[in-house]
Amino acid sequence: MVAPATLRVVRCGGSTLHGARAVFSADSKQVGNNNYLITCQSRLHQHIINDANLYSSSLDGSIKLWDFMDGIPIKTFTVGSKLLALYALASSEDSVFVVIPKSDTFQLVSVKLTKAAGQDLEAKELSVVLHGVGASPKSIAFGREGEYVASVKDLNLQVYFFKQKQLNRFSLSAVKTKGGNNHFTCVACHPTEDCIATGHADGKIRLWRNFYHKKEYTFSTLHWHHDTVMDLAFSIEGTSLLSGGVESVLVLWHNGSDCRKDFLPRLGSPIEYISMSSDGALCCTLHTDNRITIINSNLRFSKCIQGLIKTMDVKTGLVVDPRTKALVLNGEPGHLQFYCLQSDQQLFSLDIVQRQYIHQAGLKQTDLVKVAFSAQGKWLATVEERDEVTDPELQLKLWFYDEETQSFKLNTRINMPHEDHVTDMCFRDMDELEDDSLILVTAGRDCVFKVWVMVEDTDPEGKYAQQSVSWNCDFVGSYHNYQATNCCFSEDGSVLAVSFEETVTVWDSVTWDLKCTFCHPPGKIRNICFGRLTCSKYLIGATDHGFLCCWNLLSCALEWSAHLNILVLQPDPLSEYIAAVSWLSKESSLFVFKPNEPRPIYIQRNLCKEKIQLAAFIPRDEPETVGSEKYLWLRRSQLFFLTDTQELMTLSTKSLEERLTPSSKQLAVEESLPVTPFSLLLGKHRCQQSQQDIDLGKRVVQNKHEQDSPAVKELLHTPAHVLPSASFLCPIFINSLLISKENKSAEVAADEVEMESEKAEDESDEERDITEMEQEDTSPMELLGEMTCKLSKSQEKELRKIRKTDYSWISAF
Amino acid sequence: MATYKAVAVPAVPRLGERITQDTVYWRGYKTPVQIKEFGAINKIDFSPVPPYNYAVTASSRIHIYGRYSQEPMKTFSRFKDAAYCATYRDDGNLLVAGSEEGSIHLFDVSGRAPLRQFDGHTKPVHVVGFLSDKYRIFSGGDDYASYLWDIPSGTDIVSYSEHTDYVRCGCASKVNADVFITGSYDHTVKLFDARTKRSVMTIEHGQPVESVLLFPSGGLLVSAGGRYVKVWDVLKGGQLLVSLKNHHKTVTCLCLTSSGQRLLSGSLDRHVKIYSTTSYKVVHSFNYATSILSLALSPEDETIVVGMTNGVLNVKHRKPEERKEKSQKKRQPAYRTYVKGRSYMPKQEDFCVSKPVKRVLRKYDKLLKSFQSSKALDAVLEPPIRLYTPEVTVAVMQELHRRGTLRSALAGRDEKQINLLLTFVARRVIEPRFTSVLVTVADMITDIYQPVVGQSAIVDRQFLKLQEAIGKEIDYQEELLEVLGMMDTLFATFTQKRATCLEENKSNGLNRGY
């Protein structure tokens, strides 16, 4: 493989899904949204499925028509300005409606899509429908059979009738109820009646009727939500209305009346969009944490589509589960998500806080802040805290991996492990030693670090002995009353480094004596880590004053330092390399270096525009072949990083095509293989082939392969349009299925006489054969004279075996 | 989609004694019966045969008590001075006792006058006993000598005078009829074989030996003297196996349970400690009113009898096994109603309809689920929850606080309810596990009900009570801090050399304790 010139930054998950509503395909079998159906790099914004066509619009001003089965764009229409929302109507197939910015406000325009051939087309026929609409795709809805369009913004509702070319405006008087106002947030139109539903920021839903008249319009109010109504959707018949909001409860209103409603509570996170499938059997909600929930029409939860769950703030950092090699980080509130990078899906979500989460704005909830795994993933330590001034809650929990249930089980809960926030936590990573040496260190803002060890509580009685372990504080260390900020064990676990503001202290992990201190004033220590393998004598630290320092632990002296504003310092667990991500003048850069030399091995400037918050090395299943010396550090593990917009990225040496093929395209081919009598026959043939592989000797199989595989291959793999007629191919194919009858027949005929007599010998076949073979092996020189005779004998046996094989399968034809 | 998560009530580890099988077993005794004797009780011995009467030697008398009798069934009082160490023979028919004047008396349990009298000791005889062949008696006296007597002839067989101080305890081997041991105030335990003229083995205990004991197997020897109980391996030539120092005064008596699994030791420090004979850890301990001189356990551990220096005999009987079947006489549905339909195996073509498992929520959880904060708080202020499981009440209060609805739940209550709330808070606020939550609650209550102070005498009184409780707690904490400060200075003087490390260790331990 030829190494490409540069590493590419590849997005592999995360980001925001909730740019647009999810849409169902016509047969309700597929749901589309930006990232799932279409794995593409640009920011798609809105898309709509019209019969079998999927349109998408993006901020770069283009509308694309997709083949959503294969994920290939068919056509691209260039509009020329930013497209914020896209609507397509079933009634008008050749035009779509888009929202484009116009100076300060936005306007709804209809775009005529030309039917001309070609991939890239320009759509120039724009006609403005409405001025001053909202930028959000939720603020516009098209009414029954596209007769009118309703748009909401702030306190105004505009309804435009296409036929009459009439525009009606309705406005509400601003009312401030507690906490909220009655601004419009979303709009939905009844599919069969003239009725518009609008959602408001104070949680009310208004149903507007009679809006043909500017004065005599009526509206009724539905109120259940206590916070903003995020989205509304009518069922296909229009008998019920669905609404959702921050409460993460899907509310089903029957017949638009306030008294009859059903709920689907605890959907996990605030509902951003609701959409219905065209046959009304399913509805799906899109949540703020990038999850799509598919719900049956009778409000039963049916399926959940989720990748990397988005959280407000990844406080836990990126941690790798040593057992599953999954990426572990904050998931749903109070949960830990185990995210599999290979399959881009959540393996499982571990409930750490174990409390009911109340979806309410402004409520301080307990959340996970620190996570650490022991070396083999047997123990998991988590710290959760609730940040309240008067009564802060802080809990350290230790979880034990239960092999039986294949999940983590709570072992010890420690209330208030520190008086103040826990800043860092680490296990002593020692692979070879027993559990007794397992040590957990937590550093806190209360100026101490604490060492936790496992204690065994054993009932002395043999009969009732039940061993149980729990964790206890063993040592409390402090340094001049400075806040402890980071802690880190050396690779062999003999030394613990704890940083206290400006100083790094090094402690002996057996006696807990302070060994030495390092500091590089001015500037507090932001990150520390030890070198690994050959570089284990080095301690690396990054200060918030823009210095990266490397200290030698043997000489207790500064080895080198570099002027870099390092945000993330991540050592590769499998090699000596350390990745450092710096943030300088609005771009992140990546430096990979070995601690023993100050010169970085690899530099990538302008890694991305966003600030990179976290990074992690994920060990590869098998070392990758890396051509260039420069990318050797990517051989054993892969670097993933998370930006502050929660996009998970990685560095890859492969080109885009290579990455795409294995996942999506092959899958499509496999699935499209129809179940026909021919395929069944072929499958049977293949099956028997493998059977014969086992039955027959190796040589015969090889023979047979060479003979028949080209014929079958030719038949199956030649494109249809260059194949000769079927009548011509049929005999060849059938012949290929007959296993070498012709070349055997002669030999068989010759042996026929012998066969009768040697039948008895034949029965007791294998053992003797093997012993003979062994003899041959041990003394080849002696037997040289007899060789010809022996060989012929073994050949005979082989031939007899061939004759004995079952040809009954031919009768199946 | 998640289900509703019930409020987690935090479990707090129970401080103090852990409940083990042993504590359960040894607590299974009734309240003791106290019997007053004439003087200090120096020996209690159970008859090895049913009905397990026991002989108590105190002053100049030997009383024989029945199992449940409070009065002596029989008394041997033919002693001019103090009697010592009345011991039953293995068949429970004969009783032997030493005396202050140096003679040894042998009684028939059913008779009254002594059958035999052995004279030979010149000083008081504190220890006598039968060898396991039933026909010989060993004795040890304050004349430093040990004798072996023949019962049929009433004469001495052999005498040993190897000890250099009073011989005060002894024990015969159950497996070998010729072997017995004596313990003396000369700090040694000697093992004698009746077939030899000299002691076979000498074990140096280190303190005046008060009591010795051989395990039923005869392989292990336990000696008690000073504050120590030591276990020796006889078969290894008297090697010290383990030395136990769990008493803080002299250990006076030893005893094994009938199973041999537990060793009991009584001491002048008023405690009886029970050790496991496998791990030699204390698994349980009893304490008594005064110093203990003698101790005995009936077969099957049915009765523990302890004799004390002030002449009080303390008898504890085991509670009868609770018959659970009898108490649950309520007629229950027959077994087949439970298994009805359960054993049916669905066939392959059957369509299974599974019944959803119903989750049972507590009342407060149901109310919390439907966001009825005030009612949820009412539910946990019901007497059974409030009184017996205050942690549930506090957990719900905390949950309400987390949800930000605690204030509204506390508000709008009448006099009776405020009274109830304040009583609860004032009572529980000083418990460390509840303090943080209840301080918040108290804060809110005073905030909310400030305007109505002075309108109700009951509420005012509760407020005062709360104030008082908090004031007391503050004083207490201050005192603790003072003590801590004092101890810190003490520790600081201790650890001048390795200042950094040790100091941190100590202060940590204290902080956690506090």
Nearest to B512 by CA among A414, A741, A545, A412: A414
Instruction: Please write the tens of the pLDDT for every residue from A665-710.
Output: 434 444 445 556 666 666 655 555 555 545 444 444 444 444 455 6
Report the distance separating Cα A59 and Cα A83, nearest Å: 5
State phi, psi for A33 to the nearest 5 degrees. Answer: -155, 175
The pLDDT score that the predictor gives to residue A29 is 53
User: What's residue B511's pLDDT?
Assistant: 41
- The pLDDT tens digits of the residues spanning A364-407 come to 888 889 999 988 888 899 999 888 777 788 999 999 898 888 88
Interface check A459 vs B, CB under 8 A: yes
Q: Give tens-digit pLDDT for A359-372.
A: 887 788 888 899 99
pLDDT in tens, A415-470: 889 988 899 999 987 665 565 678 899 999 999 999 998 887 665 554 444 557 88
Nearest to A391 among B21, B440, B505 (CB): B440
Contact B278 A460 (CB under 8 A): yes
The answer to whether the beta carbons of residues B167 and B183 sit under 8 Å apart is yes
Residue A571 has pLDDT above 80, yes or no: yes
pLDDT at res. A26? 53
- Give the DSSP per-residue string, A714-736: HHHHS-GGGS--HHHHHHHHHHH
Is B21 in contact with A464 (Cβ distance < 8 A)?
yes
Mean pLDDT for the stretch of residues A339-356: 84
Which of A409-413, A478-482, A519-523 has the weakest average pLDDT?
A519-523
Confidence of residue A34 (pLDDT cuts 50, 70, 90): very low
Q: For residue B21, give the nearest of A356, A461, A514 by CB distance.
A: A461
A614 band by pLDDT with thresholds 50, 70 and 90: confident
CB-CB neighbors (< 8 A) of A475 in chain B: 504-505, 508
A137 contacts chain B (CB < 8 A):
no
Measure A205 CA to nearest chain B CA, in Å. Answer: 22
Q: Which of A722-726, A757-761, B102-106, B341-345 shows the lowest mean pLDDT across its residues?
A: A757-761
Question: Which bin fits A740, alpha (ψ -120 to 50), beta or left (φ > 0)?
Answer: left
- Asked if A365 reaches chain B (Cβ–Cβ under 8 Å), the answer is yes
- Find which of B22, B283, B402 to mutate to test the A interface (most A CBs within 10 Å of its CB): B402
Span A280-284, mean pLDDT?
Answer: 83
Question: Could you tell me which residues come within 8 angstroms of residue A13 by beta carbon, excluding any fewer than 6 positions away?
Answer: A307, A308, A339, A341, A344, A647, A648
pLDDT tens column, B305-350: 999 999 999 999 988 876 655 555 667 777 777 777 777 787 888 8
Nearest CA-CA partner of A333 in A418, A246, A408? A246
Using 50 as the pLDDT threshold, list the residues of chain B that sit under it: 499-514
State residue A115's pLDDT score: 72
How many whole angstroms separate alpha carbon A775 and alpha carbon A789?
A: 14
User: Minimal Cα–Cα distance from A408 to chain B, Å?
Assistant: 18
Cα angle at A782 between A781 and A786, to 5 degrees? 105
CB of A413 within 8 Å of a chain B CB? The answer is: yes
Looking at residue A35, what is its pLDDT?
40
What mean pLDDT comes out for the span A544-559?
88
- Taking 80 as the threshold, does the pLDDT of residue A473 lie above it? yes
Under 8 Å between Cβ of B312 and B289: yes
Instruction: State the CB neighbour count (10 A cutoff) for residue B490.
Output: 11
Nearest Cα of chain B lies from the Cα of A25 at a distance, in angstroms, of 24
- Scanning B278-307 for CB atoms below 8 A from A yields 278-279, 281, 283
Confidence bin at A505 (pLDDT 50/70/90): very high
| Residue that has been written with the tokens 């200042």 in this structure | B499
Does residue B50 belong to the interface with chain A, where contact is any CB pair within 8 Å? no
Q: Looking at residue B470, what is its pLDDT?
A: 92
B437 → chain A, closest CA residue: A391
Flag whether residue A480 sits within 8 Å of chain B, measured between CB atoms: no
The type of residue at B393 is: T
Closest-CA residue in chain B for A463? B21
Residue A665, pLDDT score: 40
Question: How would residue A567 be classed by pLDDT, with cut points 50, 70 and 90?
Answer: confident
Query: pLDDT confidence of A99, banded at 50, 70, 90?
Result: confident
| Model confidence at A749: pLDDT above 60 | no
Residues in A touching B404 (Cβ below 8 Å): 360, 362-363
A811 pLDDT higher than 70: no
Q: What is the pLDDT of residue A30?
A: 55
Task: Give the span between the Cα atoms of A335 and A140, in whole angstroms.
Answer: 36
Chain B residues in contact with A512 (beta carbon < 8 A): 501
The answer to whether B504 contacts A476, with C-beta atoms less than 8 Å apart, is yes
Q: How far is A234 from chain B (nearest CA, A)?
A: 22
User: How many interface pairs between A and B have CB atoms less than 8 angstroms apart?
Assistant: 76
Nearest to residue B504, comparing CAs of A321, A745, A605, A473?
A473
3-class DSSP state of B6: coil
A640, burial (CB in 10 Å: exposed 0-12, middle 13-18, buried 19+): buried
Judge: B404–A360 Cβ closer than 8 Å, yes or no. yes
Beta strand spans in B298-396 (E): 303-308, 312-317
Does residue A497 carry a pLDDT above 90? Answer: yes
Q: What's the rounded Cα separation, in Å, for the pair A285 and A294?
A: 7
Q: What percent of chain A has pLDDT over 90?
A: 10
Contact flag B402-A386 (C-beta cutoff 8 Å): yes
Q: Is A514 on the interface with B (CB under 8 A)?
A: yes
Q: In what order do the strands lie in the sheet with A345-351?
A: A319-320, A327-330, A335-340, A345-351
User: Which chain B residues have a beta carbon less than 8 Å from that of A304?
Assistant: 1
The count of other CB atoms within 10 Å of the CB of residue A391 is 14
CA-based nearest residue in chain A for residue B368 = A356
Range from A46-60, A642-656, B493-507 that averages highest in pLDDT: A642-656
Higher pLDDT, A339 or A682: A339
**pLDDT higher for A68 or A505?**
A505
- Kindly state whether A742 is in contact with chain B, defined as any CB-CB distance less than 8 angstroms: no
Residues of B in contact with A362 (CB under 8 A): 404
User: Do A441 and A485 meet the contact criterion of CB atoms below 8 Å apart?
Assistant: no
Contacts of A453 in chain B (CB under 8 A): none
Question: Which residue bears the tokens 């520190």?
Answer: A418
Q: What is the pLDDT of residue B126?
A: 92
What residues in B contact A458, CB-CB < 8 Å? Answer: none
> Average pLDDT, whole number, for chain A?
76
Residues 6+ apart with CB under 8 A from A334: A351, A352, A353, A354, A355, A357, A365, A366, A367, A368, A384
